[in-house]
Amino acid sequence: MGRISKRIHVSGGMGQGKMRGEKYYRAGLYARLSSDQDPKKNESQAGPQSSLETQMHIAEKYVEDWNRHHRDRIEIVGRYMDM
């Protein structure tokens, strides 16, 4: 008698991607301001909120590019900022 596969076949949903070798990741984006002691640098920046928004934009673009070029997928589930 031959061996019987104990693999569970899932129809549709995220499980189907896993059967084809794809992985799904849930990620939170995190941005923070560094302590910069140089006052000249602080004057040239548009402000702390602008820096945080720029960091978030860069992270979001990275995830978009990743999802476009890879079989594995990243889903952004949260955004966190520290000032």
Query: Which residues constitute the domain of residue 54?
Result: 24-82
pLDDT one-digit tens code per residue, 2-59: 565 555 444 444 444 455 678 999 999 999 988 765 555 555 556 777 889 999 999 9
63 within a domain of the structure (yes/no): yes
65 within a domain of the structure (yes/no): yes
Contact 17, 72 (CB under 8 A): no
> For the chain, what is the domain count?
1
Contact 28, 76 (CB under 8 A): yes
pTM of the model: 0.60
What residues contact 26, with CB distance under 8 A and at least 6 apart? Answer: 74, 75, 77
38 within a domain of the structure (yes/no): yes
